[in-house]
Structure 1
Amino acid sequence: MTLDIAGLSLLMGAAVGVVLALTGAGGGILAVPLLVFGLHLRMAEAAPIGLLAVGLAAALGALLALREGIVRYRAALMIGLTGMAVAPLGVRLSQLIPNGPVMALFALVLAWVAWRNLRQGRRAPSPVAPPSRRLPVCAMNPTTGRLTWRAPCTAMLGLTGALSGLLSGLLGVGGGFVIVPMLSEISNVPARGVVATSMAVIALVSVGGVLGAATQGSLDWAVAAPFAAGAVLALLAGRQFSSRWSGVRLQQAFGLLAGTVSVLMLVRAWGG
């Protein structure tokens, strides 16, 4: 029976790693539903396992991207350290709030992610980006590749970190679904740089959530270890196809999948 659980955990972790490699933001949001429905875990049990797997896979992806020089590491440190500080609070809340409400909140977050991906997938891509006269809050110097740090930029990066940290500890998500759209909105960092920076942040934020869960004794290593191994191995494999499979159709497919899972999560939460 233990081998069956380990094998299933490995396969589910692999699915998370593939999605993380392709989207940079979607792996964590699917890890917890897989554990809830596949292994019938409670939210408080599934959240730290999903966070460990996503954090390790994201750390590997961030290291590979760092070698390419596309990680905005100072912004990642700002967001990540803030998230690390807030994540244990989310873990504590997950232990205090009943399973049903936490699952319902997760379903609502997942529904928002689905709506956002489907909406973006319907937009026709423009071959030429329209010129913008207004600099973003965190403007990147195209020559140096560094962000121009001002008070509004620091505040927005800190807010992004706090929100992603709270959700990572509470729901077991990496926070990429928050980090990627926020960085895209407040900066002019290219898409690959946003995804790479998001992975670096997820790796940092996950540390706080996993340590908080481990110290509180809510991390089942028998399930967590194979799940995390599957995610890391699949991330390495998925990177080979990320450039070919990215795009509008991938966004739409992920949006449909996220929407379906959100409905299932709401049904499970309603039924207790």
Structure 2
Amino acid sequence: MLISILGFIAALIIGIVLGLTGGGGSILTVPVFVYLLGIDPVLATGYSLFVVGISSAFGAIKNLQKGLVNFGASLVFAVPAVIAVFSTRKFIISAIPNVIIKNQHMLVTKDAAIMVFFAILMLAASFSMILNNKRLVARKMLTQPKKTNYLTLGALGLFTGLVTGLVGAGGGFIIVPILIFLAKLPIKKAAATSLFIIALNSLIGFLGDALQIEIDWMFLLSFSAFAVLGILLGISFSKFIDGAKLKKGFGFLVLIMGIYIFYKEMMM
């Protein structure tokens, strides 16, 4: 009972961070499911897709109402991404053997491999949140806009969909820079469009799981409700709290957790 309560409190905190910073909080969803609630890593990545998708959808709806979503860039990026994430959940995840490597020196299981890959993603996300990229972005904004590279944008959409499908994270820290530098979108529109893409990727990717495994809908909807409540609180708090500074501090938390997960899985 206590563990369940802590899990829902964690969902609330994840939502608040998402509401305050516009991204990043969802990367804690899988560790909460696996290490706090004891859910199997493969199932946890599927559950995470649903939570991330529902949470992002609330933000995306607000952005749509404000006219901040670029549908052209969304279409080019999201179509291959959605195909990749659905195919990964439906076919690739189930095709990976439970024991990948087994000999007298090493044992690598499917669950461990997924969590190690997730830890690497967490480290990459933490550096993205911690490092100050304002100068780089400002330099880009001063240059003359070039023609959008749709071919590269679509290829990176495919890659992002694969990553999202494997680890169940939204990938906003990957998508936003791509939309800024390849789709030539202003920062605010890139963030809004990213949230729209994440919602599509995550929810359609989750269908790949929903079609083949049994889902505890009562738990999943309850967890998602707390995350959404957190987002609404975070949006309200954002008027009084500096989201940029919070995101940098949160980046250090993600860094520490990524190192912990990597160490824990490698030492097992």
Q: TM (normalized to structure 1)?
A: 0.83
Distance in 1 (CA, whole Å) between partners of 2:242 and 2:146 is 25
Cross-structure match for 1:113:
125
Aligned positions of 1:79-94 closer than 5 A = 79-91=77-89, 92-94=91-93
1:114 is displaced (CA, Å) by: 1.2
- Point out where structure 1 has 5 or more consecutive residues left out of the alignment: 139-151
Identity percentage over the alignment? 30
1:250 maps to a residue whose letter is L
Given the superposition, is the C-alpha separation of residues 124 and 83 from structure 1 closer, same or farther in structure 2, using an over 3 Å criterion? closer
Match of 2:52 among 40, 51, 54: 54
SS in 1 for 2:142: coil
- 1:31 alignment partner AA: T
- Map Cα deviations across residues 37-83 of structure 1 (whole Å, 9 max, x no partner): 21122220111111101101111111111111111123223322222
Letter in 1 for 2:193: T
Helix, strand or coil for the counterpart of 2:204? helix
Shift of 1:236: 1.7
Q: Which residue does the alignment assign to 1:103?
A: 115
Report the Cα offset of residue 234 of structure 1.
Answer: 1.4
What stretches of structure 2 of length at least 5 have no aligned partner?
Answer: 98-109
Structure 2 residue 134 is the aligned partner of structure 1 residue 135: no
Partner of 2:42: 44
Structure 1 position 217 matched with structure 2 position 227: no
Q: Evaluate the alpha carbon distance shift between residue 245 and residue 84 of structure 1 in structure 2; reply closer, same or farther with a 3 A threshold.
A: same
SS in 1 for 2:120: helix
The count of residues paired between Structure 1 and Structure 2 equals 253
Q: How does 1:1-272 map to 2 (within 5 A)?
A: 1=1, 7-91=5-89, 92-95=91-94, 96=96, 98-120=110-132, 132-138=142-148, 152=149, 154-217=150-213, 219-242=215-238, 244-272=240-268
TM-aligned CA distance change 1:263 to 1:133, over 3 Å? closer
Give the AA of the match of 1:102. I
- Partner amino acid, structure 2, of 1:155: L
Change (3 A) 1:103 1:136: farther
Contact 2:153–2:183 (CA under 8 A) maintained in structure 1: no
Distance 1:243 1:160, change over 3 A: farther
Q: Secondary structure at the match of 2:131?
A: helix
Stretch moving more, 174-183 or 185-194: 185-194
The one-letter amino acid paired with 2:190 is V
* One-letter identity of the residue aligned with 1:94: I
SS at match of 1:79: helix
Task: Report the residue type matching 1:132 in the other structure.
Answer: L
C-alpha change, 1:176 and 1:100, in structure 2 (3 Å) is same
Q: Which moved more, 1:47-56 or 1:65-74?
A: 65-74
| SS of the residue 1:57 aligns to | helix
